[in-house]
Homo-oligomer: A and B are copies of this chain.
Amino acid sequence: MASHRVRVDALAPEMTLGPREARHLHVLRLGPGDPVRVFDGRGAEAEATVGALDEGRAVLTLGRALAGVAETPQPVTLAAPLLKGDKLADVVRAATELGVARVQLVITRHADAREIGDQKLLRLRRVAEEASKQSRRAVTPEVLSPVSLAELRWEGSLFVAQPGATARLTDYLAWDAPVTLLAGPEGGLADAEVAALETRGAVAVTLGPRILRAETAPVALLGALVATGV
C-alpha cells in the first residue's frame, strides 16, 4: 500500500509538524512507527517515520529520498467553460503545466459553445498530453466531456472566480483536500449560476477589480495555487 503523503516545510533529519499537519495524521489514524512520505511541495520527496505524536504536534524522522514528483499534493480540477477557437486549448495547456489532475469541461448559460465535437475533445486531450511532457509531468490530466453546472460534482472545495466576490482564494487554500476551480466564460457566469453553486458549498473568490478574459482567469487562479505551494 502506498504511504500517506504529508507536507513539510523542508526535508530535514527530524521534522516537527504543526497542529494542522498533526491533526491530519490523526485523521489518517497514523501513530508512532508508521511509515509516511514527506514532500515539500517543491519537488522533493522522501520516506519518513512517525515519531512522537499528540493533537497539536508531531515529529517525523527522515528516511530514504525518493525521486521527486511533479504532482500537486492534492488533486486539482479545473472546471472550464467551453470557449471558442484555440482559447480552450490554451487553457488546457496552461492548466496542465500548472499541475491540474483533470479538466472538467462545463456548459454555462453564457457560453461561446453549447457542445464540443469528438475531434475537438480528442485534440484537447492531445494538448494535455504534449503539455505534460513539456512540463515534465509523469501524469497527463484527463479532459472530461462537458457537464452542466448542475451536474458538476466535486470533492473538497469548489472556488468560483466571480467579479464582486469578497473572499480571497489564498485565505482558503489547504494542501490536504481536493480543490476544484471555476472561472466564467466570456460574458461571465450568471449570478443565479454562482448562487446555485454557493448553495452547494462553493466559495466565490475575487481576482481583483478588473475584468479578466475567460482564458486569463483560470491561469490566475492556478497561479495562486502553485505560488502558495498547495
A-to-B contact residues, CB < 8 Å? 10, 40-43, 68-70, 72, 93-94, 97-99, 134-137, 164-166, 168-170, 205-213, 216, 219-224, 226-229
Provide the residues of chain B in CB contact with A168, threshold 8 Å: 227-229
- Which of B42, B208, B209, B227 contacts A221 (CB under 8 A)? B227
CA–CA, A168 and B42, complex, Å = 10
- Which of B72, B137, B169 contacts A227 (CB under 8 A)? B169
- Which of B136, B164, B206, B211 contacts A210 (CB under 8 A)? B136
> Are A99 and B205 within 8 A (Cβ)?
no
CA–CA, A135 and B68, complex, Å = 39
> Are B98 and A208 within 8 A (Cβ)?
yes
The 10 A-B residue pairs with the shortest CB-CB distance in the complex, in nearest-first order: A223-B223, A220-B223, A43-B209, A224-B227, A208-B226, A135-B210, A169-B227, A170-B228, A219-B219, A224-B224
